[in-house]
Homo-oligomer: A and B are copies of this chain.
């Protein structure tokens, strides 16, 4: 079993309105030290692939196909093998 941790963020050229709103809210709450806020999405996906290479291919394929908006977003991921107790 593999665990993929996938981080989806806006591409650098894309405006992140949610991040700006959160930054303003933090400043109002007196966290004046905050310089920038970027909000993205985070996925933890478990998959039962044959090996690391297949797992990698699947993660890259379905992230592009379903998880991100390829025009505006980009993603990075970490993939690790996990033990399933009782298998």
Chain A interface residues (CB < 8 Å from chain B) = 1, 7-9, 19, 22, 25-26, 29, 31, 33-49, 58, 61-62, 65-67
- Pick from A22, A29, A31 the residue with the most CB of B within 10 Å: A31
In Å, the complex CA distance between A66 and B25 comes to 8
In Å, the complex CA distance between A29 and B64 comes to 12
A41 / chain B contacts, CB cutoff of 8 Å: 39-42
Nearest-neighbour CB distance to chain B for A33, whole angstroms, equals: 5
Nearest-neighbour CB distance to chain B for A31, whole angstroms, equals: 5
Nearest-neighbour CB distance to chain B for A28, whole angstroms, equals: 10
A35 / chain B contacts, CB cutoff of 8 Å: 1, 46-48
